[in-house]
Amino acid sequence: MPHHCYLNGVIAPVENTNIHITDLGLLRGYGLFDYFRTYNGRPFQWDWYWERFERSARLMYLPNPISKDEAYITVMDLIKKSGLEDCGIRFVLTGGYSADSMKMTHPNLLIISEDIHPVKPQEYETGIKVISHEYVRDYPEIKSTDYKHLMILQTNIKAAEASDVLFHKDGFISELSRSNVFVVKDNVIATPDTQILKGITRRYVLELAKENFKVEERSVTLQELLEADEVFTTSTTKKVLPITKIDEVTIGAGKERNVSKFLLNSMNEKLKTW
């Protein structure tokens, strides 16, 4: 069955949904999004995602045209129409159509069902390689549609045979392009708490980790990361994914990745009955 899209109150197949060229998301990059997935046909951490979506809209001065209850009904309808056991859901809120390419009148809201593009199973065993890059996103607490920096770096990532890029500034790490990062040293887990988008999976994994490990949310240096026993990243599609190489440095050479494996297994076990 085809995926469907809600646009300003109307649901139609995605191929029949169109946005006019005067949309401020296109003309000015003025827009935000959020993305989550289902488990067992249910939206994962719906309350948390809605809270973040509303916060991003508020920080960008974009009026949210739909209530939480209305949005949930729409999401469940899109899930049903997808015909899939599980799917992804993307919210996109833009500045809407503008006659003078600057003034906002009414925002455009799209809610779209999508296929899930999960991590390759073997990468949970081998881990992934990332490159490092000195940069901090503008307004990192907002899930903006502006990903131009990542798009520009795609050539570098591909040339390095890497999967993603790790951002750092003035000796401190922040996040990957689309996910959060954690370091493990002597069974203590640390993760940056500023200049980041606070991911929902990050929040969920922190709750799991605090039951069994000492956890620190604080500034983390790039040197700490390079000298860590383990490094892993968290996101909606990655869950808990080891990072085993940063540039040409191998992380925790010869050491077992017991913490990330434990957290991944714990998360997978809880998701069975979500």
Which residues form the catalytic set? 129
8 Å CB contact between 41 and 82: no
The count of residues in the chain is 274
DSSP sequence for the chain:
---EEEETTEEEEGGG----TTBHHHHT--EEEEEEEEETTEETTHHHHHHHHHHHHHHTT----S-HHHHHHHHHHHHHHHT-SS-EEEEEEE--B-TTSS---S-EEEEEEE---PPPTTHHHH-EEEEEEE---SSTTS-BS--HHHHHHHHHHHHTT-SEEEEEETTEEEEESSSEEEEEETTEEEE--SSS---HHHHHHHHHHHTTSEEEES--BHHHHHT-SEEEEEETTTEEEEEEEETTEETTTT---HHHHHHHHHHHHHHTT-
Identity of the amino acid at 211: E
β-pair partners for 113: 89
